[in-house]
Amino acid sequence: MAFSAPVSAFRAIWQSFGTPFKASSLPVRAFSTSTESTSVDAVVIGAGVVGLAAARALAEQGREVVVLESADAIGTSTSSRNSEVIHAGIYYPPGSLKAKLCVAGRNRIYDYCEAHNVPYKRIGKILVAADESQLDDLRRYKQTAQKNGVELEWLEGNEAKAKEPALRCVAALWSPMTGIVDSHQLMLAYQSDAEKKGAAVALNSRLLSGTLSGAKKTLRIGDNKTGAFCSLTTDVIINAAGLQAQEVAAAFVDFPRQHVPRRYLARGCYFTLSGKSPFRHLIYPMPENGGLGAHLTLDLANQAKFGPDVEWVDSIDYTVDPGRAETFYSKIRHYWPGLPDGALQPSYSGIRPKISAPGEKNADFLIQGPKDHGICGLVNLFGIESPGLTASLSIGDYVAELLEP
């Protein structure tokens, strides 16, 4: 007999197994007691910061939402392997999704953190021109920021040194709206918001295949731990799988392949600074191809780290090569000559899910709705790298808007 259960019924299903209900650990077996399909309003694939924000937005619309996450915890990939910076919106081309969603998201995320007791600091950032050759770029970023509605203060070299005596530069831009956030606590808050509205997060749950035609979309889901599987039918699918977004899109057997962009992987390594940092603010050099350079960021405990660099790779591998520290020293000493020898220790790495090739201009977010690919109820999110965390609330609302008739 079919067991067609909305999310609100999962509590009873879970308790029928003799276990207290906990939405964040919902297993595949809770979806169905037979080989027939369970039906829900919406399925979000990927429980990173953007997927959880989208689930929150959909749940607040009154939809019953299931979030599928192939890992055994939320936010284990790109969302937890970044600088945890709340960006102001300086770099992104005016009118781009990155610019619009970052600036709107930045303002919202500060308010959200305050209201939900998510740890953050509006610490400010100094973007530096270390020598005369970088002044034109610095002026250009100031103009771009102004077009994006971001207010920056121009600092001459002596003014920048007054803020940060250890800094070497000929001029800089001061960004008071840049900050840092505890990304894991932020994701937990999004998850909690969604679950309070009836959503459920299913961990260890991997999309095996899906069909999009017909009145209902059908997904075949596998349990990574037990090998069990089930089917879900749904009206809405949000592909927020990050590094696996192209793989997820390809698993839809009837999705047009011309709408799946090629994925490029840019690994970025981080090195922590041993000892106390001489800086009180975030320090950013001029951006490099594929990233924002080996910048200095501080975490909420004031531990300093440098990175990420850019290394184009062919597969997802988070190994940090200690030898890469040598290039970090030379880059960092361009703006901090006092960096001591041996002060950098390997920390962690992240991988950016890029849709622009090495040497190409950084691509904008690619968020495909029904008007882009012709499939009602489907939204694909490709190339959601920085400033995805900053823009997450705005991305969630943008996704929900794309589903409106």
7-78+184-261+364-402 CATH fold: FAD/NAD(P)-binding domain (3.50.50)
pLDDT value, residue 8 = 45
Residue 9: the pLDDT is 43
Three-class SS of the chain = CCCCCCHHHHHHHHHHCCCCCCHHHECHHHCCCCCCCEEEEEEEECCCHHHHHHHHHHHHCCCCEEEECCCCCCCCCHHHCCCCEECCCCCCCCCCHHHHHHHHHHHHHHHHHHHHCCCEECCCEEEEECCHHHHHHHHHHHHHHHHCCCCCEEEEHHHHHHHCCCCCCCEEEEECCCEEECHHHHHHHHHHHHHHCCCEEECCEEEEEEECCCCCEEEEEEECCCCCEEEEEEEEEEECCHHHHHHHHHHECCCCHHHCCCCEEEEEEEEEECCCCCCCCEEECCCECCECCCCEEECCCCCEEECCCCEEECCCCCCCCHHHHHHHHHHHCCCCCCCCCCCEEEEEEEEEEECCCCCCCCCCCEEECHHHHCCCCEEEEECCCCCCCCCHHHHHHHHHHHCCC
Q: Which fold has domain 122-177+263-354?
A: D-Amino Acid Oxidase; Chain A, domain 2 (3.30.9)
pLDDT at position 227: 83
- Residue boundaries of the structural domains of the chain: 7-78+184-261+364-402, 122-177+263-354
Report pLDDT for 261. 98
pLDDT of residue 38: 85
**Mean pLDDT for each consecutive 10-residue tract of the chain (405 residues)?**
37 37 46 62 98 98 96 95 96 97 97 98 96 95 97 97 97 98 98 96 95 90 87 96 98 96 97 95 84 85 94 96 94 95 96 96 96 96 97 98 89
0.85 exceeded by pTM: yes
pLDDT at 215: 75
